[in-house]
Amino acid sequence: MLVAKEEMFYPFENSSEHRVLGGECCKMGFFKVASIKDLRSGEMKGAEAGGKPVLIVNLAGNYYALGNVCTHEGCMLSDGVLDGEKVQCPCHGSVFNVKTGSVVNGPAMKPEPAFQVKVEGDQIMVSV
């Protein structure tokens, strides 16, 4: 169900089953972010899930999602470089683990949020 932002209603605010946060919502709080055809192994892509910028990564057919806005000074990680399980921010070189969001190298000090991902049919879906 899609609703205008001003009309958002949270009848079961603590229930992910009924959560509506804008964008394309579905059961359990998962949002469609891309088709598996859009993301080959070893590739990453910026997307939005529930209005939040997320980075989707395909590592050998396993999909991962983390925040796309660098926790250092806000650059988009999707503009950076993916190297195996690590993504490097294009601005000052911080490196994050794409599976966990943890900081591998600074200057960033704070990890990226890591989100749950599932695939339904050919759709990659992320829970934020």
Closest CB to ligand FES among residues 55, 124: 55
Contacts with ligand FES in 98-117 (CB under 6 A)? Answer: 107-108
Strand positions, DSSP E, the chain: 30-35, 44-49, 52-59, 62-67, 81-83, 86-88, 95-97, 103-105, 114-120, 123-127
Contacts with ligand FES in 2-61 (CB under 6 A)? Answer: none
Contacts with ligand FES in 61-90 (CB under 6 A)? Answer: 70, 72-75, 89
Closest CB to ligand FES among residues 100, 127: 100
The rounded distance, in Å, linking the Cα atoms of 59 and 98 is 9
CB of 82 to ligand FES, least distance (A): 14
Is 44 in contact with 62 (CB distance < 8 Å)? Answer: no
Residues forming the site for ligand FES (CB under 6 A): 70, 72-75, 89, 91-94, 107-108
